Structures are given as C-alpha cells and as structure tokens.
Amino acid sequence: MDSVDPDFEGRVLVVANRVPISIKTTQEGEFEYSMSSGGLVSGLKGLAKAIDFKWFGWPGIDVHRNDKDKVRRHLQDNFNAVPIFLSETLAEMHYNGFSNSILWPLLHRMPDQAGSDERWSKAYQEVNEIFADNIVPYVEDNDMIWVHDYHLLLLPGILRERLSKKKNLKIGFFLHTPFPTEDYFTILPFREQICRSLLLCDVVGFHTNQYAKDFLESARIVLKGVSKSPSDLHWNRRKVIVHGFPLGIEADEWKQKLETDAVKQELANLREEFDDQKIILGVDRLDYIKGIPQKLRAYDRFLTDHPEWVGKVVMIQLAIPTREDVDAYRRLREEVELLVGRINGKHATFKHTPIHYLHRSVKPEQLCALYAVSDVCIISSIRDGLNLVSYEYAACQEERKGVLMMSTYAGAIKTLPPSSVILLNPWDAPRFAERINQALNMGIEERAKRHKEMMHVVDTWTSVKWGKAFLQTMMKMEIPKDADMPDRDSLEEYNSEIPDSETGTIKP
C-alpha cells in the first residue's frame, strides 16, 4: 500500500454511517456478505487500493447479541471493518427519522419535505455517542480519523472531547451533500452543536467551494468568534481548513468493464431491441432531489412539440429504489409512475413505447452497457451534491460520444467544463424540451469535442486523487499545491447558456 506521505506514522480510520458491506441472513440462519454500492463506497473503494484504512460503521441489520462476535470477527478479518451495532428501532429513528426526514431535506433546501419528531433528535444524538463509544478504544497517537456525511455531524466534536489527551490526533469531516445557505441551516435543531462539532475538526471538506462558503457563513451567524483568513478559518484559538474537494471516479474501471464479454453481450441485446432508435438515458435514485418528474414533463413537452421524433426516440429511466419507508419517497414513486403511464398512453404507438421505466437496481454490466449505448444522458436534479452519474456516463462514451444534459442545480456543473454539457433548468419545461431536441440533433464533431473536454476532468480528478488530497490537507494543514481541483467558484461562465425564462415556469 502507498502512504499518503512517507513521513506519516499513524493510521487512517474511516467512519461512515454504514460499513461498505451488505449483510443478509440466509434461510439456514447464516450470514451472507457482499460489497455495497453507492457514491461513498465507490469513492473509497478506489482509495482503498492506494491507502490502507480501517472502516467503522453500522452493519445495516439488527444483529442478535449471540452473533455479534461472529459478525465482528468476519468483518475485521475479511474487510478490515469494525461494525457498530444498533437496535432496529434506534437505527430506524436515526436513519429514516432524523437523518433522512429532517437533515436531508434541509441540507437540500427543501424544508417543505422535512418532518419533525423529538424522538428522532434524541436518537440522532444517541447514535453519534454510540459511534464514539466504539471508536475511542481503537484510537492511538498520530491517527487520522476521517468522518463522513450528514448522519454523523455531531461525532467529530464528541471524539475531539473524548480524545483530548491523544498526541497529534487529526480529525476530518467530509459532507457528501450540498450545504445550504444560512436561512435553511438555521432551521436545523441543535445547529450550534453541529457547527461546534465541525469546527473542532482540522479539515472540513465539501464537494464544491460554494458549499464551503455557505457553511462558513452559517457558522459566523450561529457561533461567535468565527473569523476567516485567505486560506483557513479561525475559531476558539483553533485553525480549521474548510475547502472544496470534489469526489471523482476511477474511469479506467468503467473502460475496462466495457471490454468484458458480459458487457458486450448486454450491448448487443440493447442494440437489437432498440435497433435504429435514439436512446435517452436517466439513471437516478428515486429521490425528490433528482427531478425525475421534471424530466418526464419535459420529455412529454418535447414529444408534443416535435411529433416527428415519436417512434424514433426512447427514454430509458432507471429509478433505483431508496428510503421506501419514508412517506415522501412513497408519494414520489406514485407521482413518477402516474406520469410514466400518462406519457406512454399519450405518445405510444402499437409498435413503440416512449418510456421504458425500471424501478429497480440493475447489474453493473447492464448499467455499463446502458451508459455506452445511449445517445443522450439527462441529469435533471433540483438539488444535488455532485452527481457521479455524469462522470460514469462520460467514461463509457468513448465510442458513441453521447451528449450529457445537466441541471444547473447539480454540483458537477462546478467541476465539468461549461462547454462540455448542455445545461438545463429542470423547472423550465419548454426550454428543457428544446434542449432535448438540441442534444438529439447534435453532430458528431461537436459531440466529440464536448466528450474530450469532459474526460480531461474525469480522467484527472479520480477518487484516489480526491482522497489523497483530503488526507494530505489534514496531515499538513494546507491545500496541496498539485491538487488541481476542478471547482469553479461562480456560474458566470454558464449563465449565457441559461437565458431568463419567458414562460414564468422557472422556480428559484
């Protein structure tokens, strides 16, 4: 294993809500282990090839006390992971309750989606304390603890207080969602504790510098004595680096997958099924931040305005199930499936179905083939931390040079070159529809130019580089000069492509 720095003498302890392993019980009462999917797991999987670290997190199921030692040994011996056990009730109130029914909507500036239950707040605080109980015994002098995401916002502060006697201990935190502006953040329960916890870190990382600025502004309002110098933050006699570190992917893994027999067979099946039709692809978790209803309405408008395309283009929309126990997500599924049915009923012919809708996950080989075979990929998020689908799509488009359409509300517009994508406002259905028409009619020379610009970022800013840049910053308390992070601080470059709406349909 490579080290982050040859002079580094400690260890890296990674803490997240879940360990990167899915555990299921078989009919025989045995445990079945498999690697999980998701943005955080994918990002750290690449980093794990370069840096040795121990992973702490909840195993995802309520393990009976008689089986805990068995699960603990298996995860330690096979995955270098330490499970943190929670009861089913506590995990439910922490995850689906406070984390996903309060924090998630407020971090994405959607207070209308937020719930409220005092038990959830207590469960969130209790789980953060339980994580600390399990991590503290493992920590040694010189260690670096890297805490991830909104489920554990209070944990850095708890660890700093409990581990105050450890020498040269570094604590970092990375948020995998947007950070809201202060008017949304100040709605949060125990916002002072959250700010204080993050400011007890050495490094706080976000996907973009804009999210970092939003956090700093919130911290100034919520806490006293927060001051900012050109390169760092000072609070309570502490220096804290707050900066953007956009996550990446390992593009070579997707390119290699395209050469496998399994993907080639999937590609052949898709080409035979859709023959001479253009394919528009959507790959989204079925989450209200992803703008799937807006995408469907724009596609409906496109087919209405351009009937010459009916029968010649198909939309394949993957809607990957998530948080199905949360009411807002159940309502979203009903809305999406009603829209799909209505649009198919309106535009279908005896030989052609305009939308192929899949409410399920697909195998990696199938996803890779879908990326490679499609002519257009639409990301229509109404708020999104980054969105790595954009990177994955580009990595699989070496041959076809498909067009990427992306919402101005996705974090990846700050990392990808402005001229490499077609930007859209998901709330402006008429212009969104015209952007679809533009993408489908784009010539190969223009597509190739845009793809080359995208791949310069995708190939350069990998998940390994992201992880190393963060850890090096935590170790040296300065941003690496060679980080070359693709993060634009303003959208001025993009604004010329998004004229003011003449339709009155744009929603702020």
The reported pLDDT for the residue numbered 224 is 84
Chain centroid, CA 102 distance in Å: 18
pTM across the whole model:
0.91
SS3 letters for 85-130?
A: CCCHHHHHHHHHHHHHHHHHHHHCCCHHHCCCCHHHHHHHHHHHHH
Q: What is the pLDDT of residue 20?
A: 85
- pLDDT score for 34: 78
Mark out the alpha helices in 306-405 (DSSP H runs).
327-347, 364-373, 389-395
Residues recorded for the chain: 508
Give the pLDDT confidence score for residue 1 in this predicted structure. 44
Q: Give me the helix-helix angle, 39-48 and 463-476, nearest 10°.
A: 70
Element (H, E) at 83: strand 81-83
- Averaged over successive runs of 10 residues, the pLDDT of the chain (508 residues) comes to 59 92 82 73 68 88 88 90 95 95 95 92 97 97 96 98 95 96 91 95 94 91 81 80 92 95 97 95 97 98 98 97 89 97 97 96 95 98 95 97 97 93 97 98 97 96 90 87 63 39 33
**What percentage of the chain's residues is helix, strand, coil (to nearest 5)?**
45, 15, 35
Side-chain-side CA neighbours of 199 within 13 Å: the count stands at: 26
Give the model's pLDDT for residue 226: 83
- Which pLDDT value is given to residue 27? 75
Count of CA atoms in the C-beta half-sphere (13 A) of 438: 15
pLDDT at 484: 62
pLDDT of residue 464: 87
Q: Which regions of 258-385 does DSSP assign to beta strands (E)?
A: 278-285, 313-320, 355-358, 376-379
Per-residue tokens: 72: 């603990």
Q: pLDDT at position 477, please?
A: 84
Task: Give the single-character DSSP code of 168.
Answer: T
Domains of the chain: 12-84+125-244 (3.40.50.2000), 251-461+490-495 (3.40.50.2000)
Residue-wise pLDDT tens digits, 167-226: 999 999 999 999 999 999 999 888 999 999 999 999 999 999 999 999 998 998 998 888
| Per-residue burial over 37-68, b = 16 or more CB atoms within 10 Å of its CB, e = otherwise | eebbbbbbbbbbebbebbbbbbbbbebeeeee
**pLDDT, position 500:** 37
The pLDDT value recorded for residue 353 is 97
Q: SS3 of 231, please?
A: coil
Query: Which pLDDT value is given to residue 3?
Result: 57
Give the CA radius of gyration of the chain. Answer: 23
- pLDDT confidence of residue 42: 67
Structure tokens at 38: 């998701």
What's the rounded Cα separation, in Å, for the pair 347 and 499? 29
